[in-house]
Amino acid sequence: MSQTDRIVRIRKLLGERRAVSRAALQELLEVSPATLKRDLAFLRDNMNTPIVWDRELEGYRIDPAQTTGAQVELPGMWFSDKEIHALLTMQHLLANLDPGGLLAPHVEPLIERLNKLLGAADNPAEEIRRRVLIVGIGKRAMKLTHFENIGAALLRRKRLRIRYYARGRDEEREREISPQRLVPYRENWYLDAWCHLRGALRNFAVDSVRSVELLGREAKDVANKTLDSVLGPGYGIFAGSEVATARLRFSPERARWVANEHWHPDQCGAFQPDGSYILEVPYADHRELMMDVLKHGRHCEVLGPEGLREVVAAELRMLFASYAVEP
């Protein structure tokens, strides 16, 4: 039985019984007096479990007088050593995939507790940082305070006054919005919100928010069904009212990758007799879809609709023209 399993067993026994004798613990755990002493010390020192020896009951018990303010365990949860390593790895992934490390300062106490649960001599969190490499591309910096204010408004259902920089138009404008949901997408965060200036649902890049003010007014609530119908059907982060279906043919070489990729929740695809792969994906705005098509170069052919073929062809002509050399 591992130390983690013994710790869980001891904690369970002490919670179920008024007191547990030393002999009973040794017999149930099949350990020596020295091992039992170390396990009890681990519970007291690392898990803040107020275990005391009761002379009258001739056994160990948890002292209720000392439990106030002490976290005896992770709320409602006990983990094996493998599960703890998995949790530490997931925390590392979250902290590094999250732009700006927004979660890191808030989960540091959890890391310390998980390290203590493992009872290892070395630091498993540091070992995970050495062994797990996170490569992020396209992250954009944002302010933690803005993210926190947006999160507070979401949970408290309050409106926000923001100054937003629209990169496409290269202009800033103040808006009052009712936040609906945060969306992590391709290394960055986006906010789906009701814009009171436009009187419609809009999507805002959180890193483009220049200032945030939490207002006292109640936020306008939009049903999830409406959010999904307005902002969900399009391709990627772009929304639109008119949805079309793109038909893309990938070469046999590239098909081996694309067939296993997730482009859209409603995509469908099939291999062709020659080994190529035809992928069909809905889209409302061609911009992001075109970027994903162009990155495959000659290995991707746009079969339709005609409008998408034309904009991709025009983009390629402009690209070739920019590299043209005068004779």
Domain containing residue 181: CATH number: 2.30.30
**Which of 25, 40, 66 is the endpoint of a domain?**
66
Position 117 scores a pLDDT of 60
- pLDDT tens digit string along 95-123? 665 545 556 666 666 666 666 665 544 55
Both 110 and 163 in one domain: the answer is no
Both 208 and 274 in one domain: the answer is no
Both 62 and 85 in one domain: the answer is no
Say if 76 falls within a structural domain.
Answer: no
Say if 100 falls within a structural domain.
Answer: yes
Ordered mean pLDDT values, 10 residues apiece, the chain (327 residues) = 79 86 91 91 82 90 67 49 68 59 63 62 62 69 82 92 91 94 84 93 91 94 85 70 90 94 92 96 90 93 95 88 62
Position 197 scores a pLDDT of 92
Say if 59 falls within a structural domain.
Answer: yes
Both 250 and 315 in one domain: the answer is yes
**Which of 131, 153, 170 is the endpoint of a domain?**
131
Say if 293 falls within a structural domain.
Answer: yes
> Which range marks the domain in which residue 15 is found?
3-66
CA dihedral 227, 229, 231, 236 (to 10 degrees): 130
Say if 225 falls within a structural domain.
Answer: yes
**Is the overall model pTM greater than 0.75, yes or no?**
no
Domain containing residue 8: CATH number: 1.10.10.10
- pLDDT tens digit string along 291-301? 999 999 999 99
Position 258 scores a pLDDT of 95
Both 171 and 224 in one domain: the answer is yes
Say if 237 falls within a structural domain.
Answer: no
**Which of 231, 257, 290 is the endpoint of a domain?**
231
Position 12 scores a pLDDT of 83
Both 225 and 248 in one domain: the answer is no
Say if 199 falls within a structural domain.
Answer: yes
Both 213 and 248 in one domain: the answer is no
Say if 239 falls within a structural domain.
Answer: no
**Number of structural domains the chain divides into:** 4
Domain containing residue 278: CATH number: 3.30.70
